[in-house]
Amino acid sequence: MRTRIGIIGAGPAGLLLAWLLQRRGIESVVLERRSREHCERRVRAGVLEQGTVDTLAEAGLGERLAAEGHVHHGIELRFGGAGHRIPFEELVPGRAITVYGQQEVVKDLIKANLDAGVDIRFEVEDVAIEDFEDRPRLTFGGERLDCDFIAGCDGFHGIARAAVPQDRVRIFEKAYPFAWLGVLADVRPSASELVYSASERGFSLHSMRSDTVSRFYLQVPPETKAEDWTHEAIWAELKARHETVPGFTLDTDGPITAVDVAVMRSFVAEPMRFGRLFLAGDAAHIVPPTGAKGLNLAVADIRVLARALGEYYASGSEDLLDRYTEICLHRVWRAQHFSWWMTNLLHAFADADAYDRRLQRSNLEYVVRSRAQATALAENYVGLPYSTDETG
């Protein structure tokens, strides 16, 4: 078999690349080791930046997003017995976030691609990359797929980055001394916007997926397993960390339907191109979820890669392909800093002394009292506008 672009991974990055390429008349094949059902039901991020929403809408994927997504014009920082709203509509007019689960984005992308005739192969066994420098090809299940280029969109633990010799990849990484316990519950949200709560007990986040489904996160020790927590203990701890302001009661009148643990890490692999192999999304970089940047960075990578490949097939120019790493990493490192900053701002560190804790409180108070600091948080949270290189 032969195709122009071989794409590894049917997550948001790989599926969006396939969709944007087919709109440019560029053929691709997507290989995914999981089932379609697994991809469409896997709960991950749910906060879409303004630029991500605009990208999906411009690509003809915005109908269900507009109908079912929840647009938020602010977030709340809760600490010291009070809540403090960061008003996006005042600080960054015209820009907001939309709460729409990653699995919903994946459903929309799978349907659009399959309806358009894009070749997506689920439950593919033994995928391997060969000769990505000159004559790239993918082998899987006894078959061979020759490609012009390969896009590694297969996540942090995928095969794409692992196929590159270690001496050609520079790794920057940081592990955090805690994890997040993620909780999905069939209970109406107790707040109309996301609530980031910092307390001595640890950090907690109140988010939502719909009018009847809430998503919560609890800071927990890094070795925590989901089965370590009973549902009763989860609700008790969520109430303790969120019911810290007068008049607020957390609604717990519904079942918990899923519990998972997310490791907190920062990771960047440089470069993001190796011959005719390109890395995108989590295959190239990971951020702690505090800043809600993971999915949005993947979309930004794919915008650049799709445009670069489109330019190559239209004119033969490799200028954007050659600059792919440079363009993407400019946004990646900005998001890395913001995610690291939000993580340090809001979490309780076990090794923090009295000085560290007072410094952290001072920083929180400065953010909510200074318009300049609040604006910096807001413009990074809703997503910085795309540059000329990213938009074309």
Name the catalytic one among 176, 293, 324, 347. 293
Question: Looking at beta carbons, which pairs linking 321-324 to residues 24 or more positions away fall under 8 Å?
Answer: 321/273, 322/273, 323/389, 324/272, 324/273, 324/278
- β-pair type (149-152, 277-279): parallel
Measure CA of the first residue to CA of the last residue in the chain; give whole Å. Answer: 32
Nearest Cα to 284, choosing from 2, 48, 8, 1? 8
For residues 267 and 340, the answer to whether their CB atoms sit within 8 Å is no
289 annotated active-site = yes
Name the catalytic one among 289, 312, 324, 347. 289
225 annotated active-site = no
CA distances, 264 to each of 80, 119, 174, 222, 339 (Å): 25, 34, 9, 8, 11
Token digits of residue 135: 């004559």
Number of other CB atoms surrounding residue 121 within 10 Å = 16
196 annotated active-site = yes
Name the catalytic one among 12, 72, 242, 288. 72
293 annotated active-site = yes
Name the catalytic one among 100, 196, 217, 324. 196
Residue 264, Cβ density class (10 Å: 0-12 exposed, 13-18 middle, ≥19 buried): buried
Residues with active-site annotation: 72, 196, 289, 293, 381
